[in-house]
Amino acid sequence: MFKEFKQFLLRGNVVDLAVGVVVGAAFGTIITALVNDLLSPLISVIAKVPDFAGLSFVVRDNQFMYGDFLNAIISFALVAIAVFFFVIKPMNLLITRSHEGPLTDSATKECSECLSEIPLAAKRCSHCTQLVD
């Protein structure tokens, strides 16, 4: 039973998941710091209100504290913006740059009959046996 448990723990997907959770938690801390220390003060400079938590209104002696909800919406929007511009956009750019250039091997050519890849020196297609020039 211990051997099976050890195999389960050492499987690639379990280890990858554990690493992903740890890195995700650390990255979450970075994004939270970015939002709290840089983006939120920038919003407070523009809006001239550093925190909306004190905003409320009263209806029939019931106080509605909508400021916390407004803070949560702004925080969510800032986190989404930070993730998009500092993670998603750079990763998309990196992926696009890594896929630039020729995708086919220069040592092959395409058969005009069956469109399969064949070596440049081939006289006949190995897939459809068509003569190639």
The 10s digit of each residue's pLDDT in 90-126 is: 988 988 888 765 554 568 888 888 888 888 888 888 8
Number of Cβ within a 10 Å radius of residue 118: 19
Q: What is the pLDDT of residue 12?
A: 66
The answer for residues whose C-beta is within 8 angstroms of residue 95's C-beta and 6 or more apart is none
Asked if residues 125 and 113 have their Cβ atoms less than 8 Å apart, the reply is yes
Q: What is the pLDDT of residue 103?
A: 52
The answer for residues whose C-beta is within 8 angstroms of residue 108's C-beta and 6 or more apart is 117, 118, 119, 120
Beta strands in the chain (DSSP E): 57-59, 62-64, 108-110, 117-119
Pairing mode of beta strands 57-59, 108-110:
unpaired
The string of pLDDT tens digits covering residues 42-81 is 877 887 776 778 888 999 999 998 888 888 888 888 888 8
Of 87 and 11, more confident: 87
The string of pLDDT tens digits covering residues 8-46 is 767 767 777 887 888 888 888 888 888 778 877 887 788
Domains of the chain, earliest start first: 2-101 (1.10.1200), 104-133 (no CATH)
Does the pTM exceed 0.75?
A: no
Q: Is the pLDDT of residue 133 over 60?
A: yes
